[in-house]
Amino acid sequence: MNTERREVLDRFLDEMRAEFPRFRIIKKEESPFSKAIDVALRIVTFNGQREFMTRYYTVIGDTLYVPQGFDNFDPVDVVITLRHERIHLRQRRRYTFLGMSIIYLLLPFPLGLAYGRARIEWEAYTETLRAVRELKGEQAMRSQALRQRIISQFTSAAYGWMWPFRSTIERWYDEALKEIERQR
């Protein structure tokens, strides 16, 4: 593994542990709890979310559950993902664990119209965009592939169709790009 890229990740993990001393990483494949969530998600999304174990990161409390193959992922990509997850840790601190769970899982509905989850995820995906710009550049942030991938997270089964109105998400996306542009 490229040492310079590895160092970017190590530095970030130090920052993360300084801000969240109880932060820890657990591999989903070694976690019975994650396997149980995987089964539940397959049921409630009619098998639309089949990649919980293999592609998605999940933060619960101070624990980050990572997908299969985590040790071989590109360290810079991992930092981009961890920047997103750090926003969820901060949200949990802001809303408390119970408050965050209610907003994320129940408001106003658990599936289909989960506006609470959509706003929570939007804040984190805005950070994803910021991290992509800082670590991979302006062009990477503006890539159509990234845009399609992020928008589809909101409108598909990935997060239980959290906000299936594509035009709303496209508007948020354009506003976020402008906002990031202003901050430079």
Alpha helices per DSSP H over the chain? 3-19, 32-44, 75-106, 115-136, 138-141, 144-155, 166-183
Which residue, 124 or 129, is less far from Zn ion as judged by CB? 124
> Shortest gap between Cβ of 126 and Zn ion (angstroms)?
11
The smaller minimum CB distance to Zn ion, of residues 57 and 141, is found at 57
Could you tell me the smallest distance in angstroms from the CB atom of residue 121 to Zn ion? 5
Burial, 37: exposed, middle or buried (Cβ in 10 Å; 0-12, 13-18, 19+)? middle
* 4's tokens: 């310079």
CB of 131 to Zn ion, least distance (A): 13
Q: How remote is the C-alpha of 76 from its chain's centroid?
A: 15
Q: Point out which residues bind Zn ion (CB under 5 A).
A: 121, 124
- Give the shortest CB-58-to-Zn ion separation in angstroms: 8
Nearer to Zn ion, 6 or 60 (CB): 60
When CB distances to Zn ion are compared, the closest residue is 124
Q: Which residue, 82 or 141, is less far from Zn ion as judged by CB?
A: 82
Give the count of beta carbons closer than 10 Å to the beta carbon of residue 60: 16
